[in-house]
Amino acid sequence: MLKRIVTDSPSSSSRPATITDVAREAGTGKTSVSRYLNGETHVLSTDLRQRIEAAIERLNYRPNQMARGLKRGRNRLLGMLVADLTNPYTIEVLQGVEAACHALGYMPLICHAANELEMERRFVQLLTTYRVEGLIVNALGADEPMLRPLRGRDIPAVLVDRTVDGFEADLIGLDNERAVRQGVQHLVDRGFDAIQFVVQPYAHVSSRRDREAAFRAVMAAQGRTVAAPVVLDPTDAASVNTALAQIDAHIDAARQRGGARPALFVANAPVALVVARHLRTRFGADWQTHAALVSIDDPEWAELIGITTIRQPTYDIGYKAVEFVHERIEGLAGDARVVLLPGTLVERASTAA
C-alpha cells in the first residue's frame, strides 16, 4: 500500500522554490530575504542571516536573476552582434569580451549574422526586445537606419573595428594606418619593391577602406608605384578566381623584370588563407621563394605555414569594448570616444630575405 507523504516544502520533483518559500522556511518576511539576496546583510541580525542562508540551502533556492534585474530596471545582458563567427579575429575578440563581462558582472548574448544583412537587421530588433543594457557591434553592413532602434530605446552601443556612417558611438579597434605602415616598411626594408595590396570588398567597410587608403598613402610617400588593389571576396568563387589570376599576373610580371621577388600585402586573415593556399598549389612547398606575403591578423595557422603578420590586440579590443559600454550604462556622457590600438609585427619565413 502506497503511503502519501505531504510536505510544505517544495521537493526536487516539484516546482522550484520561490522567495516566498524561503521566507516561510526562515520564519521571516520576503523583504528580509530580498535584502539578503541583494547583499544588504548589514541591516539583518546575525541570527536572521543564518536562518535565511540555511533555508536557501535546504530548499536549493536559485533566484531568478532575469526577473530580479527587470524589477530593478537592469538585467545585466550585453548584446554582441558579429558578422562572421568563423573569422579568427571575431573569436579572439570574443575572448576579451567574455573576460570583461565576467569581471563586470554581465552576461553576453552573442548574435551571429553569418555575413547576411537581413540577419543583422533582425538581430538588432531582437536584441532591443530582450532589453539588453548595451550592445557591441562588429557587423558586416550595419548602417545608421538599422541601428536607429538602439537610440530610440536609449541603448548604448560600442563599435568594434569599423565605423557606421551617421551613427555616433564609441569605437575601439586597430590603428590601421600604423599597421599598414609597419607592414610596408618591413617589406621595403627586406628589399621588396613590387608590392601588391589584396583586400576584401572595401567600399562599405570602414576598416578595409582605411587599410587600402593607408597603403596608397604609404607607397606614395616613398615614391613607389601604387597599383589598383586586388579585390578578393572569399565567399564568391568568381571573385576568388579573378583575384588569383591578377595575383598570378603580378608575380609573373615581377619575375620577368628580374630583381627581388614580388610581395603581397593582404588586408586580413580570411583573404590571406585563400592566397596562401593558391601560392602553395601553384609553386609547391617552397612557395615562399616565389612571392613574399604579409597579412594583417595573426591566426594560429599563420605560424604553421610561416606567414609574416601584423597581430591585432584582439583580446584588449574585446575587453575595452565591454569597459566602454559599461561606462555608458553607468551614466558616462560626452562625445564618442575613439581608441585605436597598435598592432605587432610578427616576422616569419614568408618575408625572409
CB 78 within 8 A of CB 132: yes
Alpha carbon dihedral 183, 317, 217, 165, in 10-degree steps, equals: 150
Distance of alpha carbon 65 from alpha carbon 113, whole angstroms: 27
| pTM: predicted TM-score of the whole model, two decimal places | 0.78
Distance of alpha carbon 353 from alpha carbon 348, whole angstroms: 11
Residue 285 φ then ψ, to 5°: -60, -25
Handedness of CA 137, 143, 149, 153 (dihedral sign): positive
Alpha carbon dihedral 133, 138, 139, 145, in 10-degree steps, equals: 50
Give the chain's mean pLDDT.
Answer: 87
163-193, pLDDT tens digit by residue?
888 888 999 999 999 999 999 999 999 999 8
pLDDT of residue 53: 87
135-161, pLDDT tens digit by residue?
999 876 667 777 777 776 788 999 999
249 has a pLDDT exceeding 70: yes
pLDDT of residue 94: 95
pLDDT of residue 165: 82
pLDDT of residue 130: 77
Alpha-helix residue ranges (DSSP H) falling in 203-261: 206-221, 237-257
32-57, pLDDT tens digit by residue?
888 887 667 778 898 998 999 899 88
Residue 6's pLDDT band (cuts 50, 70, 90):
very low
Residue 112 φ then ψ, to 5°: -100, 115
pLDDT of residue 207: 93
12 has a pLDDT exceeding 50: no
pLDDT of residue 126: 82
Residue 348: C-alpha distances to residues 84, 108, 294 (Å): 27, 36, 9
Could you identify the residue written with the cell 570583461? 100
60-110, pLDDT tens digit by residue?
887 665 555 555 556 788 999 998 888 889 999 999 999 999 999 899 999
Taking residues 326-345, report their average pLDDT: 95
